[in-house]
Amino acid sequence: MGPDSGEDAAAVSGVGSAALMVWDESRRLWSIGTPIAIATLSMYAVSSVTTIFVGHLGNLPLAAASIALSVFSTFSLGFLLGMGSALETLCGQAFGAGQVAMLGVYLQRSWIVLLCAALLMVPFYVFAEPLLLAAGLQDAALARDAAAFALWIMPGAFSFAVNFPTAKFLQAQSKVAVLAWIGIAGLCFHVAFSYLLVTVLGWGAPGAAAAYDVSLWAIALGQAAYIVGWCREDGWRGWSMAAFNEMWAFVKLSLESAVMLCLEIWYLGMITVLTGHLQDAQIAVDSLGICMNINGWEGMIFIGLNAAISVRVSNELGSGRPRAAMHAVIVVIAESLLIGLICMALVLIFRDYFAIIYTNDVELQHAVSKIAGLLGLTMVLNSVQPVVSGVAIGGGWQGLVAYINLGCYYVFGLPLGYLLGYKFNYGVGGIWIGMLCGVALQTVILLFIVWRTDWKAEAALASSRVRQWGGTGETKALLEEN
């Protein structure tokens, strides 16, 4: 059975019991979230290290790599991470309900679906230059170099199809320490390999891209090898034809998850595309790229908490413990907001200094300092929004949240950013403010939904989902035969 199956958490009856609940939930959340955050930070650092190495080659290579990594790599990451997030719902609830054997089946289904999805993204990379020009990027040289870099990092995109399902499989069982160790090892390898290819051998931007691809695949294959070799009694029962059963229902939830997360992840990536239309686009794109990179570092912490709260909610709902799920949600939202405020304060204190890590250009450093206030505000909003999305994934609400994201981001926030940036001539700051308004609206709506949630009904729905998708006679027969 899953962890803590049986009696629900006790109701909070006073200050003492509230403090005990907060301590207990914090311990559980951070024991899951910290290794996931380390693993995610390590993988994100692969991108950051690539940006840093390319940044010291010049402003044009930095702008090209920033566009390729923030638009094309983010497109792949968002789509495949979203598709893989279906496993957070299914594996988490199945593990909570004690149907551990189904975890390996779900993993294999996800590998099949995500590898097929990765193939569909190939034209996006192959035709990167005309797509960038059609999107309005006015600098032809920048579009050409960004397209070349995008093509060089395309092999790395396929690693996400292996990486994300394996990570979700391990997260559902709280086997997260191994993710951290593999991530750290992969990052150390990437730094050394990037130095060899870019600095020692002088391969420049192509060398940085090659190091990026190899490092991402090393992390993905390391996780897969651990599951196949060391998880035979914990969900992995070998390859099974049961992976091909109930495929359409799995694809449907995967697509809902992908739409939900893609609309979130691509949204901030659209700032880079819109900024490319401004005058002096290279400085604007570079300054925004540095800020988005810093924001991404903070975001990795909350991706860890996103995964942790998704595991907690899905496990508790699968175990029939709705009050425990509610307690986890309350604690993670409060703690995330506090961390976001601390990050904003640090950005404002060091606004004149952190750009030095990325560039020696004084004009670019000054441009970053001017928009650091917006970066701080973004960090506060992005502290709450990811964990609320994690609650949605744990509860299986992906379809509903996808509609909310579409309205808040692309009907409200994106047009507002365009108006402020171009029609009212506020430049990159106006684009950013408008899009932050979309994030704020989405966060408020999701918080309202969480506040009104009937957790007992959600626990009953989770039990029904596990029975429907994991309990068919055909699937059980194939597992027993396996």
For 221-264, how does the pLDDT look when each residue is reduced to its tens digit (9 = 90+)?
999 999 998 887 777 888 888 778 878 888 888 888 888 878 87
3-state secondary structure (DSSP) of residue 71: helix
pLDDT in tens, 339-362: 999 999 999 999 988 888 888 888
Buried b (16+ CB within 10 A) or exposed e, 112-149: bbbeebbeebeebbeebbebbeeeebebeebbebbbbb
pLDDT in tens, 266-284: 787 677 777 766 766 677 7
- Bigger pLDDT: 427 vs 129: 129
pLDDT value of position 1: 46
pLDDT value of position 221: 96
Q: Who's near 204: CB < 8 A, 6+ residues apart?
A: 57, 61, 198
CA gap 128, 279 in Å, rounded = 22
pLDDT in tens, 383-440: 888 888 888 877 778 888 889 989 999 999 999 999 998 889 888 888 889 989 999 9
Longest CA–CA span in the chain (Å) reads: 67
- Top mean-pLDDT range of 65-79, 250-264, 364-378: 364-378
Percent of the chain with pLDDT over 70: 93
Structure tokens given for 30: 């951070």
CA gap 287, 358 in Å, rounded = 10
pTM of the predicted model over 0.75: yes
- Bigger pLDDT: 215 vs 74: 215
pLDDT value of position 193: 97
